Chain A
Amino acid sequence: MHSLDLAVIIGYLGLITFVGIKLSSRVKNAHDFFLAGRSLAWWVVGLSIIGTNIDTNSYVGASGNAYNVGIAQANFEWIGAIPAMIIASLIFIPLYWRAGVYSIPEYLGLRYNQGVRVVAALIASVFAVFALGVAMWALALTLETYLGWPIWVGILVSGTVVGLYSIAGGLAAVAITDSIQVSIMFLCGILIVGIGISDAGGFGAFATTLTQDNPNHLQAYLPADSEDFPWPGVILGLGFVLSPAYWIGSQSILQRTLGARTQWDASASMMFAALAKTFIPLLVVFPGILALVMKADIEYPDMALPWVIKNVLPPGISGLMFVAIIAALQSSIDSGVNSTSLMITRDIRHVLIKNHNPEKDLIVGRYLTLVLLLSSMCIAPFIGDLGGIFTFLQTILSLFQGPMLALLLLGAMTQRATPMAGLWTLVSGVLVSAVLLLALEWNLLYVAFVSFCYSMIALWTVSGFTEKLSDEKLATLTYRPWSRT
């Protein structure tokens, strides 16, 4: 590695640690730790949302897929994100904000019952521990590949840097460091596009080469009989279910919006994130297409991005790109530990331990952040062996997406959904998903859509026979802007 690249990497790690620790003086209580004292500006939250959303898979995996299928990979950033983000911004974020909750499980607990709250928090937390382990492993692997550090050194250094600012500074430190990290990512993305097109002989030559050799790589969708991404599945499963379930129900994404300084900032942050999301393909899809146009000599598609970094970018810039990959991972890890710590502290501990002391939330939250980081650091070296468990957990999590979206949609948009119907729909909806996915072996995208449809019908029907919440409670927990005018 060039000494200039190394200087860029060390400078970045120092800057992130310094900023994070400096913000720790702001943290006086759990409200400051988990919601940044509701002090964050819309653009900080917006960039932090993007930082949380992008991980290594987005970079390496998406570039590899783009090398194979072309621009269709960008659907995850467009139809698979933008509509749900607009709806989240205009409807769900104002609702969560007015309900005064810290988390999405807490909202579900108020709208339905504490059982739904604990189940939602528990599933998300168990999955998060393994997801953190995978992210930590990927980070250590990246450090080993580029710097030659042994895996254990990579895990130790990454865990220490992330731990220092996320334990000390809470959500404020996480959000502000995320925004620095995302700015670096975009800078690198723009540089790759500029240098790459220039190396390919200009935009005209780039487009001509691509369309001559791979005419389908500029089509937004793959055919309906595509094994991986059939277009009806992408629109119905990704666009209508998985994406909304993520953008209106993911704790790690929405927690930072609840830390915004006003309700308008919270909503604006998601719109700003959606604008940034529109251009994310420049970062994660373009390198794969560039490698194809430049006829990269690679063994498998996931090598596309490393090839571009090594062969296209000059010293200093390649170090910055490497920093962008570290940043993508760090921003996902810090957001994951902070949001999981919140769910265990409040949504599980507050419900299951009746004589808990809310005054201790800050200290419990900090300890849990440390424990979660240490757990992910311990799991990381064995993630290859635990890969089967992670895949299993990922499958389990996907079973919940359809029913959870139905609970959030009908719970927020109507007064009809009742607590008992919510619990039964959650349980039966997961069973329906399990049968379709495990017994009938349907494509996951179709399972998500059908289980969502079933859950909407079940929740609507069962609610007709069971007792609903009082009008007073429903007034703050459902979206009724017209009744307040």
Chain B
Amino acid sequence: MIDLPVAWANYISMGIFIFLGCLVWIVPKKAVIADRPITDRWRDLRIWAMVLIALQLGIYWVFS
């Protein structure tokens, strides 16, 4: 445990976010849009999630 390189932590973090990014698209659109009309694409919260994940990937890439 002691000898694990710090760089691994960044790779694992990025891996977690990439995995989460794939999982997000398993959630059906109907469940995400819920009770709002499907008129605006920006209301799809899966896209919001992807923006957040992209930001996190950038952060862990820059501070690695």
Contacts and interface: CB of A to CB of B under 8 A. Distances in A.
Interface of A: 71, 78-79, 82-83, 86-87, 89-91, 94, 218-225, 230-232, 234-235, 239, 262-264, 267-268, 271-272, 274-275, 278, 481-482, 484-485
Contacts of B24: 86, 90
Contacts of B64: 219-220
Interface residues of B, number: 37
Contacts of B33: 264
B1 interface: yes
B49 A90 contact: yes
Nearest to A277: B52
A90 B52 contact: no
Contact of A94 (B6, B34, B55, B59): B34
A271 B44 CA distance: 11
Contact of B13 (A79, A91, A230, A274): A79
Interface of B: 1-4, 6, 8-10, 12-13, 16-17, 20, 24, 27-28, 30-36, 43, 45-46, 48-49, 51-53, 55-56, 59-60, 63-64
A175 B30 CA distance: 28
**Majority secondary structure of chain B interface residues (helix, strand, loop or mixed):** helix
Contacts of A91: 27
Q: Please give me the 9 A-B residue pairs with the lowest Cβ-Cβ distance, nearest first.
A: A481-B31, A221-B9, A231-B9, A220-B63, A263-B34, A264-B36, A271-B48, A224-B4, A264-B34
Contacts, number: 111
Contacts of A94: 31, 34
Given A267-B34, A271-B52, A83 B6 contact: no
A218 B6 CA distance: 13
**Majority secondary structure of chain A interface residues (helix, strand, loop or mixed):** helix
B55 A267 contact: no
B22 to A, nearest CB: 12
Given A220-B64, A221-B6, A235-B13, A263 B27 contact: no
A219 B56 CA distance: 14
Contacts of B59: 78, 220, 278
A224 B45 contact: no
Contact of B52 (A71, A218, A224, A274): A274
Contacts of B27: 90-91, 481
